[in-house]
Amino acid sequence: MGMGTPPPVVETSHLVKIFRSRGRRLRALDGVSLAVRRGEVFGLLGANGAGKTTLVKLLLGLARPTEGSVRLRGADPREVAARRRVGYLPEGHRFPDYLPAREALRLFGRLAGVPEKLLASRIDELLHLVELADRGGDRLGTYSKGMTQRLGLAAALVDDPELLFLDEPTDGVDPVGRRTIRDILLACKQRGVTIFINSHLLSEVERTCDRVAILDRGRVVCEGSVEELTRPTMRYTLRLAPGQKERLDLPTLGARRLLASDGHLEVEVNDLEELNRILDAIRAQKVLVAEVQPVRHALEDVFVRVLDQENGQ
């Protein structure tokens, strides 16, 4: 860490967590070291049972590591001061069904120490933010899964947190609700909030996160920025002008790999010179190319490939 560089907001070093049950030892986390910088959105990816939720519980001081260290804002997360203005949306959270949404937020606000004179206006603001303003007086037993999830996000934000932990925040949420949650998280990021996300919805992670780590059987097997992991390949999609595909003589293009469908060509080349030779050959046939677009790896493809490599497939 260079001179003047602020310390990470979240940091683990050689973290190990072993559970003991009926004489067996389950190594849930195995030497996890990672750091999350202030103001970034960090995504933790992994299959069921990879250790994601266990890691979040250690980061929040809800469990103790077997070995290694955890630091939250440079302090032990079990210290009360370290957890001030930290929001948490757990996976599968439940609210009392008999409570109206507004009263549930009031309860969480009081637990978080929000001053009473600010709490009423804060609740109104949050209900509007998660698009539940017209349902604030309804009992939570009448809420759908997606509505409950959005209210859970409002509860996590009630104390205007500097650090936000979200465990499967879009679980059970429809596409419109996912967009709402995504917009809220991006707005939080613009205000400088540090966000740590566990999620199975990799398309949402790709749209929201700055960096990600992939956890497999308790170990971090891949880490990097979303931009790095999904960088363009040497494959290109060529979109032809309408009615041009029928005029194209594919065998004469000489491409190493070429696939044609729906007025598009996908070619794989060694370098830009080869790409331009293909374009010249297409133009020589009087075929119009409307667009040339590099093919990026989807984060889901990266995730599957990394796990396949780890499992020898």
| Angstrom distance (rounded) from CA 45 to CA 216 | 9
Q: Please indicate, yes or no, if residue 307 is contained in any of the structural domains.
A: no
Backbone φ and ψ for 195, nearest 5 degrees, come out as -125, 130
Q: State the CATH number of the domain containing residue 21.
A: 3.40.50.300
**Are 46 and 142 within one domain?**
yes
Q: Are 180 and 100 in contact (CB under 8 A)?
A: no
**Are 119 and 44 within one domain?**
yes
Specify the 3-state DSSP secondary structure of 51: coil
**Are 216 and 240 within one domain?**
no
**Are 164 and 285 within one domain?**
no
How large is the average pLDDT for residues 176-180? Answer: 89
Q: Please indicate, yes or no, if residue 304 is contained in any of the structural domains.
A: no
Q: What is the pLDDT of residue 11?
A: 95
Query: Count of domains in the chain?
Result: 2
Q: Please indicate, yes or no, if residue 308 is contained in any of the structural domains.
A: no
**DSSP assignments along 232-274, one per residue:** EEEEEEEEEPTT-GGG--GGGG--SEEEEETTEEEEE-SSHHH
pTM for the predicted model, two decimal places? 0.82
**DSSP assignments along 112-147, one per residue:** TT--HHHHHHHHHHHHHHTT-GGGTTSBGGG--HHH
pLDDT in tens, 3-45: 556 789 999 999 999 998 777 888 999 999 999 999 999 999 9
**Are 238 and 106 within one domain?**
no
Which residue is listed with tokens 């069904």?
97
**Are 46 and 195 within one domain?**
yes
**Are 263 and 148 within one domain?**
no
Domain coverage including residue 263: 232-296
Q: State the CATH number of the domain containing residue 273.
A: 3.30.70.100
Q: What is the helix (H) or strand (E) element at residue 45, kind and residue range? A: strand 41-45
pLDDT in tens, 231-263: 877 888 888 888 777 777 777 776 666 666 666
